[in-house]
Amino acid sequence: MEIKVLGSGCARCQAVEQEVKAALAELGVAAEVTKVTEVSEIISYGVAMTPGLVINGKVRACGRVPSREEIKRWISEERG
């Protein structure tokens, strides 16, 4: 599973990354979590406002910090 946190590294972007890691730990799921800070790459996902969250190539959130429960649900959906 590949998870990308899109953003410049602002406090909200860091919050998304922390929530993602906490959700993964609670679910016992291993995933590669990467930060994307390059503006052109962020825009390539169609994200106009950061932070953004991409799970397995699908944009799941942008412009807000999703709840841990939302993140856990999305991860579970991707696992099948």
Query: What tokens were used for 22?
Result: 């906490």
Residues 6+ apart with CB under 8 A from 18: none
Active site residue 62: no
User: Can you read off the two tokens belonging to residue 9?
Assistant: 């590294």
**What secondary structure does DSSP assign to 17-53, as a single string?**
HHHHHHHHHHHT---EEEEE--HHHHHHTT--SS-EE
State the catalytic residue, choosing from 1, 10, 39, 48: 10
> Which among 3, 6, 13, 54 is annotated as catalytic?
13
- Is 13 an active-site residue? yes
Which residues are annotated as catalytic? 10, 13
